[in-house]
Structure 1
Amino acid sequence: MTPDVLCIGSILWDIIGRSPASLRLGSDVPGRITRLPGGVAMNIAMTLARFGLKPAILTAIGRDAEGDELIAACARMGLITDHAYRSEDLPTDRYMAVEGANGLIAAIADAHSLEAAGDKILRPLANGALGTERAPWPGLIALDGNLTEGLLGQIAASPLFAAADLRVAPASPGKAERLLPLLKHPRATLYVNLEEANLLTRTHADTAPEAAAALLARGAARVLVTHGGKACAEGTAGAGVIADQPPPVLVARVTGAGDTFMAAHIVAERGGADRATALSRALRAAATYVSGEIGT
Structure 2
Amino acid sequence: MTLRLAVTGLKGQVVSALIERAPKDVEITALGRPQLDLGLRHAVLANLRHAGCDAIINAAAYTAVDKAESEPDVAMRINGEGAGHVAEAAAGLKVPLLHLSTDYVFDGALDRPYREDDATGPTGAYGRSKLAGEQRIAAVHGDHVILRTAWVYSPFGANFVKTMLRLGETRDEVGVVADQLGNPTDALDIADALLLLAHRLVADSSPDLRGVFHLTGAGEASWADVAQAIFSIAEKAGRRSVRVRRITTADYPTPARRPANSRLDNAKLAARFGVSLPPWRKSLEGCVTRLLNSDA
TM bucket, shorter chain:
0.3 to 0.5
- Give TM-score, length-normalised by structure 1: 0.39
The structure that is helix-richer by fraction is: 2
Query: Which one has more relative contact order, counting CA pairs under 8 Å at least 6 apart?
Result: 2
TM (normalized to structure 2)?
0.39
